[in-house]
Amino acid sequence: SQMKGIKIIGQGEAACIAFAKVNNAVICSNNLKDIIFYVNKYNLEYLTTADILYYSYENDIINWLEIEKLWNIIKKRSKLPFDSFGEYYKKKLIMKSKSK
């Protein structure tokens, strides 16, 4: 719910946002619906699980097969933007090439 233009969020999200604001840190959350108001208001940087997996692959931290396994495990309990990491990765590459 909202109160006079302020998005009401849980204590966990509020703590993360406050920490990120004070410490110039990155918020890691898949709960964009709740945090996006504050991300925009305070110009905060955020990453989702999908973003972390993408950067892990791009930096040779986790291989493709392991990421797909993780994606499938996470997908059972959380909402991810695509059915597979491969679909997400393809979209990121397209977005990356358009921004050049």
pLDDT by 10s per residue, the chain, length 100: 455 667 788 899 999 999 999 999 999 998 888 899 999 999 999 999 999 999 999 999 999 999 999 999 999 998 898 999 999 999 988 888 887 6
Q: How many residues does the chain have?
A: 100
Which residue is listed with tokens 């059972």? 76
Measured distance CA(23)–CA(92) in Å, rounded? 28
Cα 90 from chain centroid?
A: 17
